[in-house]
Structure 1
Amino acid sequence: MSRLLTVDVGNTTTRFGLFSWTDDAPELLGTCELTTPARITSDEARIQAGQALAAMGAEPTQNAILSCVVPTLTDAWRRALADLCGVRALVVGPGLKSGVRMRYDDPAEVGPDRIADVVAARAAYGAPVIAIDLGTTTNFEVIDAEGTFAGGIIAPGVALGARSLAQAAARLPMIELRAPENVIGRSTQAAMQSGVVLGEAARIDGLIDSIADELGDGAPVVLTGDGAQAIAALLRHETVVDETLTLRGLALIWQINRKKR
């Protein structure tokens, strides 16, 4: 049985997934998360990947696929995975098949994590479907009834919003990212939590409504990423929380492209 290492390098967090491989579908064996540094060498990336594999109770694999939204880190991770696995890792981007038709002006602009979310959401939940990924940015990915990637929405994430407030306004502090007891805050911290956390939930609800109006179809909503469970509890819309959506999407993209190797 072969194994596959999926690596999703985000602006804030780097997520690893270990999959076993059969002829039918990948099976997720374990996950690990590490903080994404501002800079990394290929040796440091190789050590991080080795630590992640050890945390998941696995030896280095012979297959790997990389999604990296930080261009300055991509080459180091590409070389690190080649050294660790002994073969060239697939890197999600132009030239790699996704199996999904894209109605986007320039498909090369679509981030690799977004592509992975689209592939996994369509495979797991059918079409149409809306996938929302919470991270440094809040990304909406919309798949229409024909299974085509219709486009999406990119907005500042919860943590980025809170950090921007604290940095731009001298009298505003950094806050804990949790929902306050009341919408009307009776302290600066509670008022900021209402604006940032409850405001994010209200924005997501409103955008889901707007997408439904434009799409013309009722679509299930899948939530993934940082704090997805907590945000889902605040939404008016019914959602499915899928914490491993992106990693599974990477595994499916590897499956589509493995015959080319």
Structure 2
Amino acid sequence: MPFEREAAANSRPRPVLCALSYGATLGCPPVYAGSNDAPRRRWWLATTAFSCAAAAFAPRGWFCSMLLVIDVGNTNTTLGVYAGSNLVAHWRLTTERERTVDEYGILCRNLFTFSQLDPRDIEGIAIASVVPPLNFTFFRMAQTYFGREPFFVKPTENVGMPIRYDAPQDVGADRIVNAVAAYARYGGPCVVVDFGTATTFDAISEDGAYLGGVIAPGIVISAEALFQRAARLPRVSIAHPAQVVGRSTIGSIQSGLYFGYIGLVEGILQRMQSEMGNLQAVIATGGLSRLIGKGSPLITEIDENLTLEGLRLIYQRATQA
């Protein structure tokens, strides 16, 4: 097993990556060439040298706890690494149901190497999955390549938020994770719009309860349906056109996809607001959140890593309970 082969190496003194930024936690800025602030520069160098020296002999994870969070979606799988409450790295992959434990494990290890992170520093793994066939794959990957038992988010357990859905077990884990992060960051009442394979609208009450929401076809699968059913229409990229009236077939399709979808989003949000009252925030997240979110004045926040933050919060609450 890859992790077992490294078991002996885990016990050896070695530098901890997050200690390199320890000086910054003391209010010390990076040393810029040409800086005239000599006392502050010397202080930063001294604290950094101390933290690096201490890290070389400290037990693994002494300076900060490293958490790997994984959001397994139908189209994309997003991974992030937290050092304490700071997101230090994140990646977005294509979800492939046929990938094996080893393929996912080697891919994750390569991403860690590219970002100069050490898999041995991971103290916990939290996973939200809406692809049940991949749950065991990621479970075994976490055990084999990180030596950790992963924590899977379940809407009916340890999420720290009341679920007022008729059947709480039917709510997607990613929707609950988004709701937890949105309420923690922005308060309530609020709405989260997640632009994924499906576009979901999730309502959170003023007292921090998950109320339910709306599920609509995502803009990408809506476009795919159009291209498959209309033989003469070409495939086009989803983009924000300069004007609504298209001057070509491609421009007309792009206008219909983009502004048509903005109309769908705004129509649903207006109806949700009429039921919920004034909202503290409407947060867009997901792969296309920046593209679509900027097109509507009703969306007040764009937070592409909201799901990762929710995973961190739920894991933290579950392990401290």
Name the TM-score class by shorter chain. over 0.9
Query: 1 CA distance for matches of 2:270 and 2:156?
Result: 34
Question: Which residue does the alignment assign to 1:112?
Answer: 173
Number of residue pairs the alignment of both structures matches? 256
Aligned-partner Cα distance in 2 for 1:109–1:85 = 30
Which residue of the partner structure matches residue 124 of structure 2? Answer: 63
1:86-114 CA-to-partner distances (Å, cap 9, x unmatched) read: 12100112563110101101111111111
1:62 alignment partner, SS class: strand
1:166 aligns with 2:227: yes
In the alignment, the residues of structure 2 paired with residue 159 and residue 208 of structure 1 have an alpha-carbon distance, to the nearest angstrom, of 20
1:130 aligns with 2:184: no
Report which of the two has the higher share of helix: 2
Deviation at 1:152, TM superposition (A): 0.9
Aligned equivalent of 1:92: 153
> Structure 1 stretches of 5 or more lacking a match?
none
Matched, 1:12 2:75: yes
- Most deviating of 100-109 and 170-179: 170-179
Q: SS where residue 113 of structure 1 aligns?
A: helix
Which structure exhibits the higher relative contact order, with contacts defined as CA atoms closer than 8 Å and separated by 6 or more residues?
Answer: 1
Contact 1:97 1:257 in 2 (8 A): yes
- Checking the alignment, whether the CA contact within 8 Å between 1:100 and 1:119 is kept in structure 2 is yes
Q: What's the CA shift string for 1:169-218, capped at 9, x where partnerless? A: 21222111002222222322222112211111111111111001111233
Q: Which stretch shows the higher mean deviation, 180-189 or 151-160? A: 180-189
- The answer to whether the 8 A contact 1:132-1:140 is kept is yes
Do 1:31 and 1:56's aligned partners in 2 also have CA atoms closer than 8 Å? no
1:50 aligns with 2:50: no
Q: Equivalences for 1:73-92 in 2 at 5 Å? A: 73-92=134-153
What is the distance in 2 between the residues matched to 1:247 and 1:225?
11
Q: CA RMSD in A?
A: 1.5
Contact 1:32–1:55 (8 Å) recurs in 2: no
Task: Determine helix, strand or coil for the equivalent of 1:197.
Answer: helix
Deviation at 1:222, TM superposition (A): 0.7
Counterpart check, 1:37 vs 2:96: yes
TM-score when normalising by structure 1:
0.93
- CA drift of 1:37 comes to 1.4
Equivalent position to 1:239, from 300, 303, 308: 300
Alpha-carbon distance between aligned partners in 2 of 1:253 and 1:188, rounded to the nearest angstrom: 47
- Higher normalized strand content (fraction of residues): 1
> How far apart are 1:259 and its partner, in Å?
3.5
8 Å contact from structure 2 (residues 188, 279) kept in 1 = no
Partner of 2:39: none
Identity %: 36
Q: Matched residue of 2:92: which SS?
A: strand
Structure 1, residues 45-83: CA drift from partner, whole Å, max 9, x if none?
211221232233211113101111111111101110121
Q: What stretches of structure 1 move > 4 A for 4+ residues in a row?
A: none
CA deviation map 1:223-249 (0-9, x unaligned)? 111222221221132421111100000
